[in-house]
Amino acid sequence: MPSFTYLIIYREFMKDKKVLNISSEVVPYLPQTNQAINSYKIPKFINDHGGQTRIFMPRYGLINERRHQLHEVIRLSGMNLVINDVDMPLIIKVASIPKERMQVYFIDNDEYFKRRAVLRNENQNLFADNDERMIFFTKGVIETIKKLNWSPDIIHLHGWFTCLFPLYLNTYYKDEPIFAQSKIVTSVYAKDFEGVLSDQFYQKVAFDKIPDELIEPLKNSNFENLEKLSLNFSEGYVIADAEVPESIEKYSKEKQIPVLSYQESQNQEALVEFYTNLILK
């Protein structure tokens, strides 16, 4: 338990800092996995210690909109996003986590997120269109942040579903001034799928005219390569699970990316120090 003096220091560190948390799962909207819990606890800690937070996640069909009081934000919705040469309408919904004064924004689209499941079907196989869902989610979050005119100091990503954000922010959206000073932190969790996500992933991202050499890992879109793609453009890396593949840890060392170990990641005060001393330096 940190002392009162350290609580004051943490508050000074995070005062007015804007931290955007992006995840494929967040409690209380989805079951309590390690990732879903972290995606709630980290912004809560920041919020409690003087920072400003916003959370983004997909609006899956299994999320009960009435129970969680989601409502559409008309002024943010209505845009079409081009995914592999097809226009897909973007719908933005928002809710507040009870008693926490934290807003959660939901990226929605009937084609990609209406189904009553998260990333897998009833046989626990990954959905074939998860690649397009990832592209849509990435563009949807970035376009919404632009409309909100909210410039994050830190963008904290959770899980492989968010791996395209660093790539798109540094290529497709590289001239957007609102992200000019944003630093990216990637939290990597345990490997949770085998094989490749999609054999069409490379071509679908290449459609957005992103240089071929930067998306080379997508030619073999396995778990490790998706995470390495994210680390290629991240200022920091958090080992958020005890069973992160060794190949990813080795890769982060080769790239000399500042890392917060798994043991340290269990201490939220250590995360604030990581932000302050290594990411926002």
Q: Give the residue, 213 or 50, on which the prediction is more confident.
A: 213
Confidence tier at 1 by pLDDT (50, 70, 90):
very low
Residue-range domains of the chain with CATH? 4-279 (3.40.50.2000)
Of 7-21, 188-202, 251-265, give the lowest mean pLDDT range.
7-21
4 pLDDT above the threshold of 60: no
Environment class of residue 16 by beta-carbon count within 10 Å: exposed (0-12), middle (13-18) or buried (19+)? Answer: exposed
CA distance 270 to 114: 38
CA distance 201 to 255: 24
Report the pLDDT value the prediction gives residue 65, as an integer from 0 to 100: 96
Of 84-88, 149-153, 208-212, 265-269, give the lowest mean pLDDT range.
265-269
Q: What percent of the chain has pLDDT over 70?
A: 96
Confidence tier at 15 by pLDDT (50, 70, 90):
confident
Helices H / strands E in the chain, number of each: 11, 11
35-40: average pLDDT: 97
CA distance 10 to 12: 5
CA distance 281 to 274: 10
For residue 158, what is the DSSP state?
E
Q: What is the pTM of this model?
A: 0.95
Other Cβ atoms less than 10 A from the Cβ of 277: the count is 11
